Structure 1
Amino acid sequence: MTAMPGALPQGVAGYSLDDRARWVHEPQKSPRRSAFQRDRARVLHSSGLRRLGAKTQVVSPGSDDFVRTRLTHSLEVAQVGRELARYLGSDPDVVDAACLAHDLGHPPFGHNGEAVLDEIARDIGGFEGNAQTLRVLSRLEPKVLGPGGRPAGLNLTRATLDACIKYPWPRAAAPTPDTASATIRKFGVYADDREVFDFVRAGRDDGRRCIEAQLMDLADDISYSVHDVEDAINSGFLDLDAYRNDHALAGLLDITRQWYLPQIEDAPLLAALERLRAQPYWPHGEFDGSRRAQAALKHMTSQLIGRFAGAAEAATHAVYGWEPLGRYDGRLIVPDDTRIEIAVLKGLATVTVMVAQDRLRLQRIQARVIGQLCEYFAERPEAMDRMFFLDHWDAADDAGRLRVVVDQVATLTDHSAWAHYHTMQNDTGSLL
Structure 2
Amino acid sequence: MAVASYFYPPLAPYACDSRTSRGRLVAEPASPTRTEFHRDRDRIVHATAFRRLKHKTQVFVSPEGDHYRTRLTHTIEVAQIARSLARALGLDEDLAETLALAHDLGHTPFGHTGEDALDEVMRPYGGFDHNAQSLRIVTRLERRYAGFDGLNLSWETLEGLVKHNGPLLSADGTPGERYRDRGIPVAILEYDALQPLDLATHASAEAQAAAIADDIAYDAADIDDGLRAGLFTLDDLGDAVPLARQFLDEIRARHPALEKPREINELTRRVITRLVEDVITEAGRAIAEVAPTSADDIRRCGRTLVQFSPAIRAYDDGIKAFLFANVYRHPRVVPVRREAAGVVRDLFAAYFEHPSAMPPQWSAGVDLLDEPRRARRAADYIAGMTDRYALDEHRRLFATTPDLR
Band of TM-score, shorter chain: 0.7 to 0.9
Alignment CA distance shift 1:131-1:306 (3 Å): same
After TM superposition, the runs of 4+ consecutive aligned structure 1 residues lying more than 6 A away are 184-187, 322-326
Alignment CA distance shift 1:192-1:62 (3 Å): closer
Contact 1:240–1:284 (Cα < 8 Å) also in 2: no
- Residue 372 of structure 1: aligned partner: 346
Aligned-pair CA distance for 1:19:
2.3
| CA displacement 1:177-214 (0-9 Å, x = unmatched) | 9xxxxxx9797x63244242345544x24242322221
Contact 2:59–2:112 (Cα < 8 Å) also in 1: no
Contact 2:355–2:363 (Cα < 8 Å) also in 1: yes
Aligned-pair CA distance for 1:114:
1.0
From 370, 375, 389, give the equivalent of 1:402.
Answer: 375
- Residue 36 of structure 2: aligned partner: 35
From 312, 329, 346, give the equivalent of 2:279.
Answer: 312
Aligned AA (1:197): D
Alignment CA distance shift 1:142-1:133 (3 Å): same
User: Structure 2 length as normaliser, TM-score?
Assistant: 0.83
Contact 1:24–1:152 (Cα < 8 Å) also in 2: no
Alignment CA distance shift 1:88-1:59 (3 Å): same
- Residue 164 of structure 1: aligned partner: 161
Contact 2:55–2:387 (Cα < 8 Å) also in 1: yes
Contact 2:55–2:70 (Cα < 8 Å) also in 1: yes
Alignment CA distance shift 1:11-1:175 (3 Å): closer
Alignment CA distance shift 1:431-1:277 (3 Å): closer
- Residue 263 of structure 1: aligned partner: none
- Residue 238 of structure 1: aligned partner: 232
- Superposed, 1:405-416 pairs within 5 Å as 405-416=378-389
- Superposed, 1:65-144 pairs within 5 Å as 65-144=66-145
Contact 1:212–1:327 (Cα < 8 Å) also in 2: no
Aligned AA (1:79): Q
Aligned-pair CA distance for 1:31:
1.3
Establish whether residue 11 from structure 1 lines up as the match of residue 11 from structure 2.
yes
Partners of 1:70 and 1:139 in 2: how far apart?
A: 21
| CA displacement 1:69-122 (0-9 Å, x = unmatched) | 111000000000011111112211111111111111111111111111112111
| CA displacement 1:387-413 (0-9 Å, x = unmatched) | 3223x6255222111100011111111
1:388 is paired with a residue whose SS is helix
Alignment CA distance shift 1:55-1:244 (3 Å): closer
Partners of 2:380 and 2:276 in 1: how far apart?
A: 35
From 184, 192, 198, give the equivalent of 1:197.
Answer: 192
| CA displacement 1:52-83 (0-9 Å, x = unmatched) | 11111124464222110111000000000011
- Residue 361 of structure 1: aligned partner: 335
Alignment CA distance shift 1:412-1:103 (3 Å): same
Contact 1:144–1:155 (Cα < 8 Å) also in 2: no
1:357 is paired with a residue whose SS is coil
Alignment CA distance shift 1:37-1:176 (3 Å): closer
Establish whether residue 223 from structure 1 lines up as the match of residue 217 from structure 2.
yes
Aligned-pair CA distance for 1:349:
2.6
Aligned AA (1:215): A
Aligned-pair CA distance for 1:328:
3.3
Identity of aligned residues (%): 31
| CA displacement 1:275-329 (0-9 Å, x = unmatched) | 33223676569xxxx9843233223222221211111111222233498986433
From 268, 274, 296, give the equivalent of 2:263.
Answer: 296
Partners of 2:307 and 2:188 in 1: how far apart?
A: 31
2:44 is paired with a residue whose SS is helix
Question: Which 5+ residue runs of structure 1 have no aligned equivalent?
Answer: 1-8, 178-183, 250-272
Partners of 1:327 and 1:55 in 2: how far apart?
A: 34
Contact 1:42–1:154 (Cα < 8 Å) also in 2: yes
Aligned AA (1:384): M
Matched residue pairs, number? 379
| CA displacement 1:118-165 (0-9 Å, x = unmatched) | 12111221111111111111111123465xxxx531111001111212
Establish whether residue 422 from structure 1 lines up as the match of residue 392 from structure 2.
no
- Residue 24 of structure 1: aligned partner: 26
Contact 2:60–2:337 (Cα < 8 Å) also in 1: no
- Residue 338 of structure 1: aligned partner: 312
Partners of 1:333 and 1:366 in 2: how far apart?
A: 34
Partners of 1:60 and 1:38 in 2: how far apart?
A: 35
Aligned AA (1:412): M
